[in-house]
Structure 1
């Protein structure tokens, strides 16, 4: 029951917070008669605010999440979503929509609490199972929301404004769930038992890739005083120093550094493509003149992405050997998808390329996730993925400032997608070079090993 209750509430929150029927039609809604904004305002002045606010809030929210023991930040996320959709429903004008993006950036940055909370209230033996539940339900909620929105729009002929009302109602249901969650009794960094600190210091000389079972035992759940007054709590400077030390140890590992580099680069490009795909579709098939099918596309791409993620475990690939080559080939495929979306100007081809792009990304990001996290403890897991996400957002902000923002080049969406295609091509080239270098180094080391084993002197020396 102690596992079932918080997991059930988190699943309710995850489903309804991600069930957003209006999401696939947001650009059409903003550019339609309800908001009457221009493409330049939406693409170059409103959407960039989300990127900047997400970047600015990610690290403070990450620290606040741990310091406040997760639950208050979950409530903050739910509140931010409700405020976002109330403003989308009621507010008018450019400035109001920019403020809306700020609140949505806060909600997105607060998602770290959703994926961290469960590890503080259940035993390590249940981590994998409840993580699967929570991640699956968010994808399912997103798919249901997109499909529901498209059916209501195409079959029931409802207005886009009504989809926003339904999305607000879903956010309101999600708002209720976190209030009933039990308050965690520990956290990863600020609130730990004194034994945790001592064990961490004793194990600091161990290798980076320590076993998962050992690392999980370092965070006992049975200390009821961890998040209460008088417990062993770390100061902000102690936490920052600990994070910095872990950061240096983690990124000395070359395989982890390679996968993290791809994670950050590809996630930056993925965010840009997904954020501005609706604007591209709107230029190819304007919603004021034609019926649009964005909801079906988002549903299909989400489900195929989830299926691709599930199939990763069954692929007979030695990722430690062929990882860089796979990243090169599939990054190049993603680049081709973007070029097709932008150049052929056919909505059905564009939709199909988008679905393939998202499915490919989901497959690769799943591989990157377990390659990075398989042998990290929970503390370093949170740190590494937090750093990778921050770097991705930093790169995305730079790309947005230069390419998208009206303060920079302010390019039209078609030209933007040409740049995004070139961006993924550069990623493919980088990992092609890395893959070839790795294979050449491995062949050279094998040859050196054969030569040394055939040398009698070396055999004598090796036995000494």
Structure 2
């Protein structure tokens, strides 16, 4: 199948998958007359389960996605979404909602197959186009979802319960579209057709020489027994892992990406509780505009991510300081949010926070992509996401389940979390600038590298926002 057709099918799936209008008002739905849960039950008994589920299922899904050749896992993604939102409609007890939160975590962990399918099915020359297409499709679906939710509720066309039916219908359509995707014959690790000499490691690789004369020796592995496939695949995984994380720049940018993503996931998960608390204390019964906020957040975030992708700054020099400044700004506005009762202020803070995060996460993504091979892109960002979810699970366990802080206190802690992150990268920035000065390097703020090299580095970056975008989904 031509790559354009594959791109269109992927885009349709991504658009419908992210069309979930019920998520903009899910907290008000759960605490409203439809389900009658208390804020404490939603905060401490229901929402944390999806965080733990996401963490527990991600590593398993990541390992079997390549082995099962992507398409079955994408189907599982659609099915788990259907199960989740059907259970939201039918469920009444905390236990049922904890079970559906498990499927909700699975829903997001299986998205790894959607975001890495293109690297196994589409030729490398089209990576940039297809990646941008799928990213645009998910953003379009998310923005249309938010504005649909706001308009239908504002004009009393649908209530919060009825929005769930739109979400279920969209997930059913998304799942149907998956069956039109062509199957994957070979994958990155378990089903590689061949591997060249320069990819062969010194470790336990068992690849056999092909008889076909080529410029470079090639090792055919498609006919190897299952045991040898698994052995070779995990040896190659380990090799890519060591190659990437032996580079200090990869570690530095990955560390920030993982910890910032952890904070972002936590904020997006609990922001509706903060909004609801402010509305009930200041203007109970007034109309809320969560859908509109999500819409503007998605649109502004998309524009800033697009713009930063065109900037060619000397991130080697400015990166640490920039991360420190914006992390500090995020920490300050979250601390302000913990004391504010003004819903419009809270709406604005959420938009600013999300835009800053996605912008700097995109920078971190293409900086990481500069120093890793294309074949290991999914692996490295999968590991980074696992670290982010591990940190989020620990943060949730301590702040929500152990200390049992109220929602304002939680956001003050999250603000302090980003301030600490800012201090760490400020110190690293000072050291980095001092090293540049001592080495006599010119303080060039603008990079004059060849344009093709820059595009090659940024080509793989936008998919990282997809991996974390599930992030944003986790906030419902």
Stretches of structure 1 lacking an aligned partner (at least 5 in a row): 205-216, 448-464
Q: What TM-score do the two structures reach when normalised by structure 2? A: 0.86
CA apart distance, 1:240 = 2.8
Structure 1's 203 and 312: CA in aligned 2 closer, same or farther, altered over 3 A? farther
Instruction: Report the Cα distance in structure 1 between the residues aligned to 2:314 and 2:386, rounded to whole angstroms.
Output: 29
C-alpha contact 2:201 2:239 (8 A) present in aligned 1? no
Aligned residue number for residue 359 of structure 1: 355
Match of 2:268 among 251, 274, 282: 274
Q: How many equivalent pairs are there?
A: 426
Structure 1's 12 and 116: CA in aligned 2 closer, same or farther, altered over 3 A? same
CA apart distance, 1:316 = 5.1
Q: Secondary structure at the match of 1:180?
A: coil
Aligned residue number for residue 298 of structure 1: 294
Q: Secondary structure at the match of 1:196?
A: strand
C-alpha contact 2:191 2:229 (8 A) present in aligned 1? no
Aligned residue number for residue 437 of structure 1: 431
C-alpha contact 1:190 1:233 (8 A) present in aligned 2? no
Structure 1's 51 and 61: CA in aligned 2 closer, same or farther, altered over 3 A? same
Structure 1's 164 and 82: CA in aligned 2 closer, same or farther, altered over 3 A? same
Q: Please list the CA deviations of residues 23-81 of structure 1 after superposition, one character each: whole Å capped at 9, or x if unmatched.
A: 11010101111111011110111111111011011111011110000000000000000
Aligned residue number for residue 134 of structure 1: 134
Instruction: Report the Cα distance in structure 2 between the residues aligned to 1:130 and 1:238, rounded to whole angstroms.
Output: 29
What CA RMSD, in Å, does the superposition of the two structures yield over aligned residues?
2.1
C-alpha contact 2:201 2:236 (8 A) present in aligned 1? no
Superposition pairs of residues 365-376 of structure 1, within 5 angstroms? 365-376=361-372
Q: Please list the CA deviations of residues 398-450 of structure 1 after superposition, one character each: whole Å capped at 9, or x if unmatched.
A: 00110112xx1121111100000000000100000000011112222229xxx
Structure 1's 380 and 203: CA in aligned 2 closer, same or farther, altered over 3 A? farther
Instruction: Report the Cα distance in structure 2 between the residues aligned to 1:259 and 1:45, rounded to whole angstroms.
Output: 34
CA apart distance, 1:343 = 1.2
Instruction: Report the Cα distance in structure 1 between the residues aligned to 2:231 and 2:410, rounded to whole angstroms.
Output: 42
User: Does 2:204 correspond to 1:201?
Assistant: no
Aligned residue number for residue 332 of structure 1: 328
Q: Please list the CA deviations of residues 226-259 of structure 1 after superposition, one character each: whole Å capped at 9, or x if unmatched.
A: 5xx7688854343333322322221121111110
Q: Secondary structure at the match of 1:106?
A: helix
Q: Secondary structure at the match of 2:200?
A: helix
C-alpha contact 2:334 2:349 (8 A) present in aligned 1? yes
Instruction: Report the Cα distance in structure 1 between the residues aligned to 2:27 and 2:294, rounded to whole angstroms.
Output: 14
User: Does 2:1 correspond to 1:4?
Assistant: no
Instruction: Report the Cα distance in structure 2 between the residues aligned to 1:105 and 1:93, rounded to whole angstroms.
Output: 19
Instruction: Report the Cα distance in structure 2 between the residues aligned to 1:29 and 1:154, rounded to whole angstroms.
Output: 15
Q: Please list the CA deviations of residues 371-407 of structure 1 after superposition, one character each: whole Å capped at 9, or x if unmatched.
A: 11134222221121011101000100000110112xx
C-alpha contact 1:192 1:232 (8 A) present in aligned 2? no
Judge which range, 378-387 or 327-336, deviates more.
378-387
Q: Secondary structure at the match of 1:55?
A: helix
Q: Secondary structure at the match of 2:145?
A: helix
Judge which range, 383-392 or 366-375, deviates more.
366-375
Aligned residue number for residue 263 of structure 1: 257
Stretches of structure 2 lacking an aligned partner (at least 5 in a row): 204-214, 442-476
Instruction: Report the Cα distance in structure 2 between the residues aligned to 1:138 and 1:203, rounded to whole angstroms.
Output: 41
Match of 1:416 among 410, 416, 433: 410
Q: Please list the CA deviations of residues 128-178 of structure 1 after superposition, one character each: whole Å capped at 9, or x if unmatched.
A: 000000011111101110110000000234211111111111111111011
Q: Secondary structure at the match of 1:285?
A: helix
CA apart distance, 1:201 = 1.1
Instruction: Report the Cα distance in structure 2 between the residues aligned to 1:39 and 1:237, rounded to whole angstroms.
Output: 49
Q: Secondary structure at the match of 2:188?
A: coil
Larger Rg: 1
Instruction: Report the Cα distance in structure 2 between the residues aligned to 1:70 and 1:337, rounded to whole angstroms.
Output: 40
Match of 1:427 among 421, 433, 444: 421
Instruction: Report the Cα distance in structure 2 between the residues aligned to 1:14 and 1:233, rounded to whole angstroms.
Output: 35
Aligned residue number for residue 239 of structure 1: 233
C-alpha contact 2:244 2:371 (8 A) present in aligned 1? no
Superposition pairs of residues 372-383 of structure 1, within 5 angstroms? 372-383=368-379
Match of 2:399 among 403, 406, 414: 403
Aligned residue number for residue 39 of structure 1: 39
Instruction: Report the Cα distance in structure 1 between the residues aligned to 2:229 and 2:305, rounded to whole angstroms.
Output: 39
Q: What TM-score do the two structures reach when normalised by structure 1? A: 0.88
